Amino acid sequence: MADTPKVRFDNRVAIVTGAGGGLGRSHALLLAERGAKVVVNDLGGAVDGSGSDTKAADKVVEEIKAAGGEAVASYDGVDTFEGAQKIVATAKDAFGRIDIVVNNAGILRDVSFKKMTEDDWNRVLKVHLYGTMFVSKAAWEALRENGFGRIVNTTSAAGLYGNFGQANYSAAKMGIVGLSKTLAQEGGKYDIKCNVIAPVAKSRMTETIMPPEALEKLLPERVSALVGYLCSEQLQETGQVYAAGGGYIARVAVVEGAGVRIGGDLTPEQVVESWEQINDHSKAQPFQNAMEAAGAALKG
């Protein structure tokens, strides 16, 4: 451990959305503590996305400054491209550049699919999926010009595996995975690395569904260490998903089994006969991109 280079962000500028509390606050504090100049973005609304307040972002900025760091507040919503452009403009106006984007902002509108309204669906996708795209898009050209960029996006176990009452949230969160994998490929030659975290941590969004004794083991700081590495110059990986919580960190992958190749005119009955092999994951592997995955169907 003594030979491990210190992860630092001196002369780097970071945007952290949803940074007024919970995970976002923790990410912002870690980046600032290690030398980054930070835009603390938070609309200051309720968990369901209603309302706004400047106090949340201001408080975190004060914490960073009190510790000797540099930060400015941003109160713009991520759910419009105009808002995202203002967030990026805040970074450029205050610090002259942008190097790191941590897309963390989110809301919840949990309800069973039967009772879900169009507004419940649209609002959650706007903040999570569109918000991640909007802020990344607003920063993209600056990162390309830098020849350096680190984007950390936020999915969840609900997106990866589904969760009752969260069809909107799950759809948005899995969409973020697909978006991130494409940004990783398109950003590669500009040293823009884009990875995804699936955190489990104490926050406004988990306090209503997890017992207090569990939440005390899931402090946000136990996730932010991973975010720190994913924002660093040392980072080599891109397009990956990592689960994190309570000190546990693991890479998550979409994999495809070895499958079965059926010749001739394929019939439903042949599918039935091969069903066990089709579902066998004993030789499963991840693919690096969609074309590689498509190639598996062309072999033989």
Q: Element (H or E) spanning 71, and its range?
A: strand 70-74
Q: What are the catalytic residues?
A: 169
pLDDT tens column, 129-160 = 999 999 999 999 999 999 999 999 999 999 99
- Domains of the chain, each with CATH number or no CATH: 13-252 (3.40.50.720), 255-298 (no CATH)
3-state secondary structure the chain: CCCCCCCCCCCCEEEEECCCCHHHHHHHHHHHHCCCEEEEECCCCCCCCCCCCCHHHHHHHHHHHHCCCEEEEECCCCCCHHHHHHHHHHHHHHHCCCCEEEECCCCCCCCCCCCCCHHHHHHHHHHHHHHHHHHHHHHHHHHHHHCCEEEEEECCHHHHHCCCCCHHHHHHHHHHHHHHHHHHHHHHHHCEEEEEEEECCCCCCCCCCCCHHHHCCCCCHHHHHHHHHHCCCCCCCCCCEEEEECCEEEEECCEECCCCCCCCCCCHHHHHHCHHHHCCCCCCEECCCHHHHHHHHHCC
* Residue 296 confidence class, pLDDT cut points 50, 70, 90: confident
pLDDT tens column, 89-121 = 999 999 999 999 999 999 999 999 999 999 999
Q: What is the pLDDT of residue 201?
A: 74
Across-strand partners of 241? Answer: 196, 252
In angstroms, the Cα distances linking 6 to 3, 13, 85, 229, 268 are 9, 18, 32, 10, 57
- Bridge pairing between strands 241-245 and 13-17: unpaired
CB 126 within 8 A of CB 79: yes
Res. 1: pLDDT tops 60: no
pLDDT tens column, 59-84 = 999 999 999 999 999 999 999 999 99
Across-strand partners of 40? Answer: 16, 73
Q: What is the pLDDT of residue 204?
A: 60
Please give the model's pTM, rounded to 2 decimal places. Answer: 0.93
Q: What is the pLDDT of residue 218?
A: 75
Q: What is the pLDDT of residue 256?
A: 95
Alpha-carbon Rg for the chain in angstroms: 21
In the DSSP assignment, the letter for residue 54 is S
pLDDT tens column, 160-205 = 999 999 999 999 999 999 999 999 999 999 999 999 999 987 556 5
* Residue 285 confidence class, pLDDT cut points 50, 70, 90: very high
250 is written with which tokens?
A: 């693991």
In angstroms, the Cα distances linking 51 to 80, 83, 90 are 16, 15, 22
* Residue 232 confidence class, pLDDT cut points 50, 70, 90: very high
Res. 276: pLDDT tops 90: yes
Q: What is the pLDDT of residue 90?
A: 98
The dihedral region occupied by 147, where left means phi > 0, alpha psi between -120 and 50, and beta the remainder, is left
pLDDT tens column, 44-64 = 888 878 787 899 999 999 999
Q: What is the pLDDT of residue 146?
A: 96
